[in-house]
Structure 1
Amino acid sequence: MAQKCTHKGCEKQFTDPEEACFYHPGAPIFHEGQKGWQCCKPRVLTFDEFLSIPPCTEGKHSTTAPILAPVQTSGVGESPAQKVSDNINAPPSKPLPTVTASATPPPPKIEKPLEQDPPDAVIPPNTKCKRLGCNAVSPNSDACVFHPGAPIFHEGSKGYTCCKRRVLEFDEFLKIQGCKEDRHCFVGEQKDEKQEELVECRNDFYQTFTNVIVSIFAKKVVKEEAKVLFRERELEVDLPMPENKRFRIVYPLYGKIDPEGSTFKVMGTKVEVNLKKGDTASWPTLRSDETSGEIIQIGAPARA
């Protein structure tokens, strides 16, 4: 009878307990936009690259693998317990101004078409579906239940841009049920090497009483061609990268900004956007088309 291996990085169905198993014995790490495992050195920026990090340890399959430590989201040496203790012992902060909802409706989202397998695609057996949240392997005729949005890791919570659920543990994040149903995508469309590829880039933000600082994690952006346009209620971003890749998006902003007082800076692994607030109200989310019950930090994020 086939059983599922519970080692992280393997998680395959097996029938032979003596079969070699390749896995990660350490816990996942998400820190300052980088992702990796405690047990090995590779660090990457995107979630897809994280899932592709090759396992570093060889052993035997297990159905009772030990539960890993919680995902590390802070610097080395700082434990979640320390962070909670610091928050409890911190002096009371100045109360935030009340946020008043805007009567202006947010602009409609423009969704790009889902990538699909071509009708004549040759799909090798045991190929994993490329859609986030779906673990099916070919051949599989069942409906694909997945997340069309990008992963979000912010202030310790984890989720997807396409749905509201947020969790704390990485294992729980991997179990978040998909929110959209379609066909599986095992190989995807064959891309022309000369054709520009639009990619997804994760973002994070923190705020002060006067500014919202947004980090867009895009690697090796061509600084001379990067464009960031500021409007009172919108942020338009166009970031070209090597290998004909480009990140392009328009963020409908939660609050008003001062376009003249807003700036951006291109760095090696990210683009930092400094939005000058139009008032001192707190932003619970970056986008006006997202809802959140989280308390968003006022001040710079914790660093190692």
Structure 2
Amino acid sequence: MALLCYNKGCGQRFDPEHNAEDSCLYHPGVPIFHDALKGWSCCKKRTTDFSEFLSIKGCTKGFHSKEKPPEPSSQGDTSDEPKAKPVKELIVQGPKSAEKMLRERPSSDEPRQLLPVKVSRSLEQALEKLNMSSEDKILQSSCPGRDKLMDGTGIYQGPESNTEVCTFHPGVPVFHEGMKYWSCCGIKTTDFSAFMEQPGCSRGCHCWTEKKDKKAVLCRQDWHQTSSQVVVTVYAKNPLPALSSVKANRTVLEAHVIFEGNKIFQAELELWGTIDVEKSFVSMVPAKVEITLCKASPGSWARLELPQSKLQSSPEEQTSSRTVCRLQQGLSPGQKGQLINTQSKGCPLKSLTGA
């Protein structure tokens, strides 16, 4: 009775009574499939064709075998193929619900931090061309060349304020070829934060200016988001970095932008989500101010601000600002465009509403 030989590469039938030491020609090794090449570990011959691989003759002579070879425990132990790495289980946590986010929301009363400002080269060039005279410095109450951001003490609180010594810069801020400095003392730096912290170089009496000198306006705004960031854009021509500021804590954003034409834009809103203040920053270019807020956790925000948040252009215009928000909800696209143009030009709301 003829039996089937189970030696690899043989597959012939043989008579056990005539099974000699050189009857079988087989491969003692194992099949190898690596980089599109196929072959046996006991031979050097390799091919890319599978049919040709099956027809490779054995390289060793021996007895035919009727025993099935045991299945290899792991092909990587006997072949040139790299061992497969164990698959790690990846657990993905879905986004938190709005209710849970509100419960875990930090207090809006946390201290607000001044966000770092990046000034583009094009804005520095534009500011060089502007007449940086005292009438271009819109200060709530200030000394010549001195902004409230630099000390926070230049606020008139009565006749006793006149006895205080004022430390100030009599010159103007200069932005030239990447350098930032005051024209009166010439201490140059490339870092905007270091420029803002430079102490005044002169001492004298306070020179108060009236609040009515401010020209508060509404600016066109926009926002977009990625999975990790929210970018708020305020369209203001030639913003003045030395006189503007953006502050934030984990849930509140406060913007104070002074720009060309003796104009001030102010806004305060409570954010829909939470942010990482340390990783957030402000970028200023000639046409706009971009506030990049780093999300505390990746995900999508349903809106920029909470429904109860208040947006204001100035303390005197809170009512007008809320009216704008209500108007936009009930206007057609064409009317909304007219409202945006009206806001960007600083026109009174009655020009659109007929009030």
TM-score (norm: length of structure 1) = 0.34
TM-score (norm: length of structure 2) = 0.29
Q: Specify the structure having the higher radius of gyration (Cα).
A: 2
More helix by share: 2
